[in-house]
Structure 1
Amino acid sequence: MSDGELAAYSLVELAVDRLRRDILSGRTDPGERLVEEQLTRRLGISRAPLREAMRLLAQQGLVEHIPRRGARVATLSDDDVRELYEVRDVLERHAVATMPARPELTGLRAALEVMRKATEADDRLELANAHRRFHTEVVRLGGNKQMAGLYESILVRIQLYMAVNMRREAETARAEDGVARHERLFGAIDAGDTEGIRAALSEHGARTYLT
């Protein structure tokens, strides 16, 4: 890769990172238009890397391209959300059923520690990302890497849906409660308590996840 190609790729990465953070933190609402002229000025990049970044974000389910109207932050219907939660639950149940008796918990422990630190720092985006990493690590314990990747992509889309609520509820939400839920789940996994794992996962329903 030439220096010019590397520079262009770096600009794409920059744009993807900045826009992804804006979307998943709730700074931009679902359905909000993403205007090229405004974004190129704000990010300090040209149209070519911005368009490539938007293409990559569309692949992640975070951006939608509307014919003759440009791009916007993706939206989810009630049916979309219900179906995503159903798929999430199926993958979690499969992971629990295939989890070894004594799984390696290093990744899970690290994600929980990041969650604690993000809670102390009141970093809502990092906290949401840590929640997602924690749950992906739970599914990864089932031993199927492809399934874990699919699961994480579903959680990203759910996080998009929850981002605005997270922003609006930030003043009243108790982030400590979220940490406590994940500590209970970690404890059940560490103890090999299958029923306890299922009970802890059931606490992470559509109304409580990422809050």
Structure 2
Amino acid sequence: MSSGLSLADHITLELRADIIGGRLLPGMALVENDLVSAYNASRNTIREALHRLGQEGLTLYVRNKGVMVRRLGSDDVRDLFKVRRTLELQAISASQPLRDYQSDRMLEALEATELAREREDWRAVGTHSLAFHQHIVGLLRSPLFDEFFTNVVAQLRLVFCTAPDESRFQAPWLARDRQIHDLLADGDKRAAGDAMSLYLDDSEHLLLQMLAPSSHH
């Protein structure tokens, strides 16, 4: 456990990582007793971690049911994309030519997405694709934005989970992520920004369509 992190911090981060990894899905119950034994932690510590996840918009307390992983709706999606446009487009427009290590990180995320797609592990495709966008925000070189965006990513992951057909939803984005990387690598910020803007518009539109009441059978 890294220094300076309390056990509650550690558990909060781990549960958030489970959400980003698609292991905790919307509507799942987070049972105090189970977490106490899983983490060998006190009830108070678990409560503190669950409280933090609630503050981060990842869990919800439901009367008579306890704490559940949150389901997000259309308003949440609009808000998340407002944040994405602000941070990701700003990161691109303010970016310097990509350093090797920045390019390498993006390529690693794209490579991992590609491999997950080949094994048709659509959940992992979503997770690795979001990692690519975390590296875009990383171009701002702001630990505060990185931390904030990790939470945005966890919320987005919960939206992706609601896709009735995750393969259809996840399939088209990899080529577009790759294009954005290549434009950045070529130093064409304007074209990269345009590509990202279009990407975010299309992604938001698709998610809102998916959440529209008519799409529920």
TM-score normalised by the chain length of structure 2 = 0.71
Residue 35 of structure 1 and its aligned partner are, at CA, apart by 4.5
Count of aligned pairs: 198
Residue 68 of structure 1 and its aligned partner are, at CA, apart by 5.6
Indicate how the Cα distance of structure 1 residues 47 and 164 shifts in structure 2: closer, same or farther if over 3 A, else same.
farther
Matches within 5 A, 1:38-187: 39=34, 48=43, 50-66=46-62, 69-103=65-99, 104-165=102-163, 168-170=164-166, 172-173=167-168, 175-187=170-182
TM-score normalised by the chain length of structure 1 = 0.73
Q: Give the Cα separation in 2 of the matches to 1:20 and 1:184.
A: 27
Indicate how the Cα distance of structure 1 residues 133 and 88 shifts in structure 2: closer, same or farther if over 3 A, else same.
same
Q: Give the Cα separation in 2 of the matches to 1:194 and 1:19.
A: 32
Indicate how the Cα distance of structure 1 residues 43 and 125 shifts in structure 2: closer, same or farther if over 3 A, else same.
farther
Counterpart contact for 1:107–1:137, Cα < 8 Å: yes
Indicate how the Cα distance of structure 1 residues 162 and 110 shifts in structure 2: closer, same or farther if over 3 A, else same.
same
Unmatched 5+ residue regions in structure 1? 2-8
Counterpart contact for 2:11–2:39, Cα < 8 Å: no
Residue 51 of structure 1 and its aligned partner are, at CA, apart by 3.9
Root mean square deviation, CA, Å:
3.5
Counterpart contact for 1:26–1:163, Cα < 8 Å: no
Unmatched 5+ residue regions in structure 2? 2-6, 208-217
Q: Percent identity?
A: 21
Q: Higher mean Cα deviation, 178-187 or 46-55? A: 46-55
Q: Give the Cα separation in 2 of the matches to 1:101 and 1:56.
A: 37
